[in-house]
Structure 1
């Protein structure tokens, strides 16, 4: 394992007098087709590095209209589109050789006006940010073939989705030859090692930035008419987030007859499917509210979080709810159990199936009058695990890795 600290590294102001780093360029490449929580780490780290005087570039698989894209542009970092390259790589059925690499690199607008030799001379370091743990391996293969140093970030790994065949071989190749590999949970790191079949000595866990930048827990909401309000926060994507199972659980008479209301916050491709399911099951104590900009607004009015996930990295929403002093009801996937102590700072279901989610919700319900105290414990616990500015810690790690390369 790495000698770099997981959470306690203190960010430093970068000295521009360091001659070895003067020509260093960071290129952040996001392989995600959508824009979600997995974009937060690289965008905020890129902005931090730019403000410290480094040259920073950004490429993404599709560039949406998003406030983070505008913030990057305002800081002098233009996000360029690599969707053509991604589609090209997806269609290839054989190992890229150098000839194909040079042809594919021409599709990158980033390289259109750049001289590759000059980029190499200027110490180009690529950081590939993946939404999963293998959606960016085709891009990594390009940089590997060009002998450009690259670093991989993985934001999720799923026990139910394993790479196979040629994809697994490329995954083994690019992970073993990466300068460093970062994961947002120990679970994701260990699962990736199982999927590729060997230990990664160039890997460690890194934390994501979040919006709950507060010094202590929020005041606990008033319980009106003895009704408890639970929020389910996350992208409306059934495959990973499991909102369908939660709706089935809530359709039982016992939950319909209790003083409980569940609010869903988020957007996604399965929004219409979930709304149709809501109508089909005739749920009276469930509502959907779409995306919300300020997460603190949710926790001013809700008493607990529920996440019936089938796969995760380490959800930003979970860190935020704990920072705000609310208990979380979650499934044992990704890094959930790495930051929650069951029955002490939250409640953990053994799996994302109907029976287990029903059990954990029942267990939490029986202790609902203790939620305020459980939330306070969660608030104190999470502050020991997550640094105040994870993006600065991560940027410092990148700089240290680059120092070691030179």
Structure 2
């Protein structure tokens, strides 16, 4: 039996975890042995099969120790090595939230002569700080030691190659899975004459650009228009956003918290807005398009690999208030066409994405470890 190990270097569960978690379940159903290592606890991990190593430190409240002290005592790297040695995987899948965070894991796997692939969910120009003289050669070697390096958008693959000085040769683009398993009814006219617009994602202004969006809809013209902005998600900037909304006097925005039922979001909303400063290939965009909803996106990550300006959606040239305001104005002016644009968005997704992104990923990974199958 082939033994697979998944290592996620993310610090919490987010949309970027969906691919590796679903991949593990599919491989398990096909008879492969599965184990995983994570640095966070989340109810979604219960569905991940096999042995698990959790590196999350106890809370300071229960131990009296801050995380930095706990990590000096426990030494997670030693625990990871011990777990790997005991489990003895045939192949390892490393999932990283950004394109530099798994360096130590990749180095460890290389030192143990274990074959592995990486999956990178996010690359951004703001990460150049990690590719400095004292780290660059080590990061280049880590990527070279991987059997393959996967990226969820062509943009992220191309940018990471540039950050690595043009040395990335073993790289492929794969796709994030869509959680929609049911059709969602079209909304051709706004209920009660009020248009419903959704923003879906972690409440993290640094990443998702919600601060930029709030500054735009805090302008007088948006306050008097028949539109309600529904924000779905939780995150580290929820309190700040509440205060910003109050400060700007915005009455037509609602913070709904996390909504697990994606279909319910798109049964109520006609348009997605993503004012992000950085993205890989956002699940929120994939899900909206699968539900035949058009979108306003910033030109970051793989957004324009799916959204073509004025064809199936609207593109803000940059993650700035002026660019987002301009794109939102064009979207509002063309609101009568949102349904038609949403239909085009769904057709675009169907043409560019595999029917099952997880099956596509697993088939690709299997090509790399099939030589390890016992005779």
TM-score > 0.5 by shorter chain: yes
Distance in 2 (CA, whole Å) between partners of 1:110 and 1:257 is 61
CA contact (8 A) 2:99 2:123 kept: yes
Q: Is residue 348 of structure 2 the alignment partner of residue 381 of structure 1?
A: yes
> Which structure has the higher relative contact order (CA within 8 Å, separation 6+)?
1
- Paired with 2:372 and 2:32, the residues of 1 have a C-alpha distance of 17
- Alignment match, 2:174: 206
Match of 1:69 among 38, 45, 50: 45
Where in structure 2 are there 5+ consecutive unaligned residues? 58-66
Q: 1:112 to 1:359 in 2, by over 3 A?
A: closer
Question: 1:18 matched to which residue of 2?
Answer: none
Taking the TM superposition and a 5 Å limit, the aligned residue runs for 1:5-404 are 22=1, 24-62=2-40, 64-66=41-43, 68-72=44-48, 76-83=49-56, 106-108=78-80, 111=83, 114=86, 119=88, 124-162=90-128, 163-165=130-132, 166-214=134-182, 218-220=185-187, 222-403=189-370
Match of 2:62 in 1: none
Deviates more, 1:368-377 or 1:142-151: 142-151
Assess, with a 3 A threshold, how the Cα gap between structure 1 residues 190 and 34 changes in structure 2: closer, same or farther: same
Aligned partners of 2:78 and 2:84: how far apart in 1? 7
5+ residue gaps, structure 1, are 1-21, 93-102
- What is the SS of the residue equivalent to 1:383? helix
8 Å CA contact retained: 2:55, 2:76: no
- State the SS of the aligned residue for 1:129: strand
- The question of whether the paired residues in 2 share the 8 Å contact of 1:69 and 1:79 is answered with no
Q: Is the 8 A contact 1:221 1:300 kept in 2?
A: no
Helix, strand or coil at the partner of 1:229: strand
Q: Deviations for 1:269-327, whole angstroms, at most 9, x for unmatched residues?
A: 11111111111111011110000011110111111000000000000010110110111
Deviations 1:40-95 (A, max 9, x none): 01010011111111111111112x131x21112xxx423311357xx89xx99xxx
**Distance apart, 1:204 and its partner CA:** 0.7
Call closer, same or farther: CA 1:246–1:105 in 2, change over 3 Å: closer
- The answer (yes or no) to whether the contact 1:81–1:109 under 8 Å persists in 2 is no
Partner of residue 12, structure 1 = none
Give distance in 1, aligned partners of 2:131 and 2:165.
Answer: 12
Report the secondary structure of 2:343's partner residue.
helix
Does the aligned pair in 1 maintain the 2:184–2:263 contact within 8 Å?
no
**How far apart, CA to CA, are the structure 2 residues paired with 1:309 and 1:204?**
24
**Is the contact between residue 53 and residue 83 of structure 2 (CA under 8 Å) also seen in structure 1?**
no
Do 1:80 and 1:110's aligned partners in 2 also have CA atoms closer than 8 Å? no
| Structure 2 CA distance for aligned equivalents of residues 335 and 213 of structure 1 | 23
Task: Work out the CA distance in 1 between the residues paired with 2:278 and 2:80.
Answer: 32
- 2:140/2:167 contact within 8 Å kept: no
SS in 1 for 2:125: coil
Quote how far apart the aligned CAs of 1:392 are.
1.6
Deviation at 1:169, TM superposition (A): 2.8
Q: Identify if the C-alpha distance between structure 1 residues 265 and 104 changes in structure 2 by more than 3 Å, giving closer, same or farther.
A: closer
Counterparts of 2:199 and 2:364, CA distance in 1: 33
Q: Residue 105 of structure 1 contacts residue 111 of structure 1 at CA under 8 Å; is this kept in 2?
A: no
2: CA distance, partners of 1:164 / 1:198: 13
Give the Cα separation in 2 of the matches to 1:398 and 1:383.
Answer: 23
Q: CA RMSD in A?
A: 2.1
8 Å contact 1:221–1:301 — kept in the other structure? Answer: no
Deviation sequence 1:352-388 (CA, Å, 0-9, x none): 1010000000011110001111111111111111222
Q: The residue matched to 2:351 in structure 1 has which SS?
A: coil
TM-score (norm 1): 0.84
C-alpha distance 176-113 of structure 1, shift in aligned 2 (>3 A) = closer
Q: Give yes or no for contact 2:99–2:160 (8 Å, CA) kept in 1.
A: yes
